[in-house]
Amino acid sequence: MTDDHIMTIREMCDAFDVTPRTLRFYEAKELLFPIREGQKRLFTKRDRARLKLILRGKRFGFSLEEIRQLLDLYHMGDQQQTQLARTYEIAQQRLSDMEAQRDELNQAIDELKEQMRWGEKMLASMDQNKRAAE
Amino acid sequence: MTDDHIMTIREMCDAFDVTPRTLRFYEAKELLFPIREGQKRLFTKRDRARLKLILRGKRFGFSLEEIRQLLDLYHMGDQQQTQLARTYEIAQQRLSDMEAQRDELNQAIDELKEQMRWGEKMLASMDQNKRAAE
DNA sequence: CGTCTGAGTTACGTCAACGTAAATTCCCAT
DNA sequence: ATGGGAATTTACGTTGACGTAACTCAGACG
d(CA B104, CA B89): 23
A46 pLDDT higher than 80: yes
| A68 occurs within a structural domain | no
Q: Looking at residue A78, what is its pLDDT?
A: 45
In a domain, B71, yes or no: no
Asked whether residue A2 falls in the same domain as residue A57, the answer is yes
Asked if the structure places residue A43 within a domain, the reply is yes
Work out how many CB contacts closer than 8 A connect A with B. Answer: 84
pLDDT of the residue at A28: 94
The total of other beta-carbon atoms located within 10 Å of residue B128's CB is 10
Same domain, B122 and B87: yes
Does residue A71 form part of some domain? no
Of B61, B88, B116, Cβ closest to residue A92: B116
Q: Which of A30-34, B14-18, B38-42, B76-80 has the lowest mean pLDDT?
A: B76-80
Query: What are A7-19's pLDDT values in tens digits?
Result: 999 999 999 999 9
Q: Would you say residue B72 lies in a domain? A: no
For the stretch A84-123, pLDDT in tens is 676 677 777 777 777 777 777 777 777 767 766 665 655 5
Computed from CA positions of residues B33, B34, B36, B40, in that sequence, does the dihedral angle turn out positive or negative? negative
Whether the CB of A21 is below 8 Å from some CB of chain B: the reply is no
Task: Decide: residue A13, CB within 10 A, 0-12 exposed, 13-18 middle, 19+ buried.
Answer: middle
The number of domains in chain A is 2
Q: What is the pLDDT of residues B79-99, one digit of tens each?
A: 445 656 766 777 777 777 777
What CATH number should be reported for the domain holding residue B19? Answer: 1.10.1660.10
> Is A24 contained in some domain?
yes
Per the structure, the complete domain to which residue A98 belongs is given by 77-134
The reply to whether B102 touches chain A by the CB within 8 Å rule is yes
Instruction: Indicate if A57 and A89 belong to the same structural domain.
Output: no
